């Protein structure tokens, strides 16, 4: 249970579905409630499939390119840290590649936004992918890997529920409320990223 909570909290903070709610509402404002629910479901399924696939095959991609797990964790820590700074400074949309009006207009023209930009790169971004690859290398037991996958599924379920209720959440919290919570989550994300970097640097120094 402790491993489940740790993975769930870390992955939820990195994915930050709360910060995606305003963008989701904007992309689906012309859809009916039934269509928004469908997009929420497909988005969550896409995120789960992407994260689980990278969790299991990510290490082989690393071996193919000759990248060590410590290098990945440092790179992932930098990505996670910059994501946290983006949340703290209120530039989350820019950090996720949604700042330019051309990109926004293209997203609006797409009938199905569940895969891109919602699943990739808004939710299943490089930060969450590198986090899961690191977890695969960290936990060797099969039971531990099952717990990690269960935590991924739980995060995706929570993401689905939040997206499905996005209109109500945005109305209830308001722009200032979402902004405040996103900044708190950003602080947690920065701490996660720094922890990844520091632990990897220590591991590299011990090996040298």
Cα–Cα distance between 41 and 43 in angstroms, integer? 5
Write the CB contacts of 197 (distance below 8 Å, at least 6 apart in sequence). Answer: 73, 74, 77, 78, 81
Going by pLDDT thresholds of 50, 70 and 90, the confidence category of residue 100 is very low
DSSP E strand boundaries for 30-129: none
CB-count exposure of residue 162 (10 Å: 0-12, 13-18, 19+): middle
Give me the residue spans of the domains in the chain.
2-202
CA dihedral 169, 163, 104, 50 (to 10 degrees): 150
Going by pLDDT thresholds of 50, 70 and 90, the confidence category of residue 112 is low
Question: pLDDT value at position 110?
Answer: 45
Q: How far is CA 156 from the centre of its chain?
A: 10
Give yes or no for a contact between 133 and 59, defined as CB atoms under 8 angstroms apart: yes
**pLDDT one-digit tens code per residue, 82-98:** 877 876 776 655 555 54
Q: Residue 178 above 50 pLDDT?
A: yes
Q: Which residue has the tokens 């919602």?
A: 118
Mean pLDDT for the chain overall: 80
**pLDDT one-digit tens code per residue, 41-82:** 999 999 999 999 999 998 888 888 888 777 877 887 787 788
CA dihedral 78, 51, 144, 14 (to 10 degrees): 40
**pLDDT one-digit tens code per residue, 153-165:** 999 999 999 999 8
Q: How far is CA 5 from the centre of its chain?
A: 16
Q: Residue 132 above 80 pLDDT?
A: yes
Question: pLDDT value at position 102?
Answer: 46
Question: pLDDT value at position 68?
Answer: 79
Predicted TM-score (pTM) of the model is 0.71
Write the CB contacts of 140 (distance below 8 Å, at least 6 apart in sequence). Answer: none
**pLDDT one-digit tens code per residue, 10-29:** 899 888 888 778 778 777 76
């Amino acid at each position: 249970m402790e491993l489940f909570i740790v993975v769930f909290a870390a992955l939820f903070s990195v994915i930050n579905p709360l910060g995606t709610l305003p963008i989701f509402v904007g992309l689906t404002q012309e859809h009916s409630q039934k269509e928004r629910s469908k997009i929420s479901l497909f988005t969550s399924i896409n995120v789960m499939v992407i994260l689980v696939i990278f969790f299991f095959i990510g290490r082989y991609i690393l071996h193919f390119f000759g990248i060590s797990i410590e290098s990945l964790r440092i790179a992932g820590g930098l990505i996670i840290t910059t994501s946290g700074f983006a949340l703290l400074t209120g530039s989350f949309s820019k950090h996720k590649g949604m700042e330019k009006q051309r990109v926004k207009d293209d997203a609006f023209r797409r009938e199905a936004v569940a895969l891109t930009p919602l699943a990739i790169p808004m939710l299943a971004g490089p930060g969450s992918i590198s986090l899961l690859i690191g977890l695969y290398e960290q936990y060797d037991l099969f039971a531990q890997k099952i717990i990690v996958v269960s935590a991924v599924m739980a995060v995706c379920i929570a993401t689905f529920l939040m997206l499905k209720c996005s209109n109500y959440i945005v109305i209830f919290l308001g722009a200032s409320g979402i902004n405040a919570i996103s900044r708190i989550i950003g602080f947690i994300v920065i701490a996660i990223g720094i922890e990844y970097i520091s632990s990897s640097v220590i591991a590299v120094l011990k090996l040298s």
